[in-house]
Amino acid sequence: MILRQTAAIFTDAYRELNAKKLFWITLFFSILIVAAYACFGIDARGVHFLWMTLPGTEQYAANISPATFFKFWMYAVGIGIWLTWVATILALVSTAGIFPDLLASGSIDLYLSKPISRLRLFLTKFLTGLLFVAVQVGVFIMGCILVIGIRGGSWEWSLLLAIPIVLAFFSYLYAICTLFGILTRSTITALLLTLVAWMCFFGLNSTDNILLAVRSDAGFNLERAQLSASQNRERIEILQARIDNNTAGERTESQLDMAKRNLESAVANIERHQRTLDGVEPWYRRVFVAKSFFPKTSETVALLGRYTLDMDELKALMPPDQRNDVEINIEELGYARPGEATEAAQVMPPNIRTELELRSRSIAWVLGTSFGFTGFILAIAAFIFSRRDY
């Protein structure tokens, strides 16, 4: 009987989706986006849209493979914008009414008077809400896999991970929508409050990203200043030795002065960047801790990037000045005599540091804490649903 009841609730949910124009509109746009996506192409001459070659894309096209190109744009636009913003809002609009409609007088009575426990009814109805997203994401991702396979020449079945990942992301929001729907019994109120909560999570995530960017930047500058100071110290020793050994040339004194000034500047920069780092670090940690208690919407979606784009592919998509390590080499100032060249040092650029830091956050933290929050919200909603009189 449990299976029959569950199947009946899902069948009703499917009929409801089928009856909703928004479901078909969203699906239509999903297919349209996949079709537009398929119209792009990439080869050595550049990026093409249908028969047109987009100007100034030759260099870009030279660095990346077609498969990487399609994966990146699917990830950046298809999932990053369409699925996680537009389609999610449309999905929330479509599903926000599920619980308020269920709780309407005369409707809930029909369900509760049947031999089904309230908890099971609640959970099954919650899952039907996810059905909307599962269908939408499933169609979209399958379309994308076909495009990448046919146009990019690589069958990326790992992209199917996008379905559970986007479902997980949506479940965070839908749990909140469910709680508000049960508390207020109003579709519009539940929807608006969910969007507010989403904006709060987004704000928290943005704060984290900004702090992380500042931290990465400060770390980059500190490391650069430290290397510069180290190289200048080394240079000062060499120049001082020349003077002491009476082997100094005409410019040695001035070079020594310049090296000393550079060292002072580097030391000042070290102090400044260290202060920045010391200032930002506690806030970064606080925000990180705060984030641990809330769902990580952006980072959940970014998990797909981790699995579909490795760091080399990601670097290939960045401008050259952002993807390569920055070389710190005092020799460019022309100090060295033959055999005295100071070894150049490499410093990782800030955006790569940020990306690596984000990728170093464990899946258990990203998903575990988010599901913890979702579970907590659902538990409250289920408790209220189960205990309330209708």
Partner 1 sequence: MIQSAPHSDLAIDIRSVDKRYKGKVHALRGIDLTVGRSEVFGLLGPNGAGKSTLVKILTTIVRPTHCEGRVLGRPVGHKPTLRTVGYLPEHARFPDYLTGRQILDSAAAMTGVSRSDARKRIPQLLDIVGMTDWAKKKVTTYSKGMKQRIGIAQALINDPELVFLDEPTDGVDPVGRRDIRAIVQRLRDEGKTVFLNSHLLSELEMVCDRVAILVQGRVVSQGTIDELTRDQGYIEIELQAIDDDHPHPRMLVESSALLLASETTPTGESTSIVASRVRTEFILPSGEPVEINKNRIRIHTEEPGSIQPLLDALRARNCIIRSLRPHRPSLEDLFMKAVTDPTTGKELSPGAGSDKPARKGAAQ
Interface residues with partner 1 (CB under 8 A) are 1, 4-5, 7-8, 11-12, 15-16, 18-19, 101, 104-117, 387, 389-390
Residues in the chain: 390
Query: Which residues are within 8 A (CB) of 314 and not within 5 positions of it... i.e. 6 or more apart?
Result: 305, 355
Under a CB-based contact definition with an 8 Å cutoff, are residues 266 and 242 in contact? no
Q: What pairing do the DSSP bridges indicate for beta strands 40-43 and 326-328?
A: unpaired
Nearest CB to partner 1, comparing residues 79 and 108: 108
Would you say 4 or 320 has its CB closer to partner 1? Answer: 4
Nearer Cβ to partner 1, position 111 or 307?
111
Whose Cβ is closer to partner 1: residue 19's or residue 364's? 19
For partner 1, give the closer residue by CB, 115 or 320.
115
CA–CA gap between residue 224 and residue 23 (Å, rounded): 53
The DSSP result for 302-348, as a single string, is HHHHHHHS-HHHHHHTS-HHHHSPEEE-GGGGS-PPTT-PPPPEEE-
Minimum CB–partner distance for residue 185 and partner 1 (Å): 13
- Nearer to partner 1 by Cβ, of 286 and 388: the residue is 388
Q: Report, in Å, the least distance between residue 92 CB and partner 1.
A: 20
- CB nearer to partner 1: give 101 or 313: 101
Nearer to partner 1 by C-beta: 118 or 260?
A: 118
Q: Find the shortest distance in angstroms from Cβ 182 to partner 1.
A: 15
What's the min distance (Å) between Cβ of 67 and partner 1?
42
| 20 DSSP assignment | -
Query: Residue 53: phi, psi to the nearest 5?
Result: -95, 125
Q: How far apart are the first and last CA of the chain?
A: 25
Q: Least distance (Å) from partner 1 to the CB of residue 16?
A: 6
DSSP E strand stretches across the chain: 40-43, 46-49, 52-53, 326-328, 345-347
User: Could you tell me the CA-to-CA distances from 330 to 72, 222, 254, 334, 350 in Å, in that order?
Assistant: 37, 16, 15, 8, 21
Closest approach of partner 1 to the CB of residue 15, in Å: 6
Residue 280, CA distances (Å) to 193, 212, 217, 275, 283 in order: 31, 9, 11, 8, 5
Residues 365, 349: Cα–Cα separation, whole Å: 26
CB 188 within 8 A of CB 171: no
Smallest gap from residue 105 Cβ to partner 1 (A): 6
Q: Pick between residue 111 and residue 365 the one whose CB is nearest to partner 1.
A: 111
- Quote the least distance from Cβ 101 to partner 1, whole Å: 8
- Closest approach of partner 1 to the CB of residue 6, in Å: 9
Torsion angle of C-alpha atoms 347, 348, 354, 358, degrees rounded to 10: -120
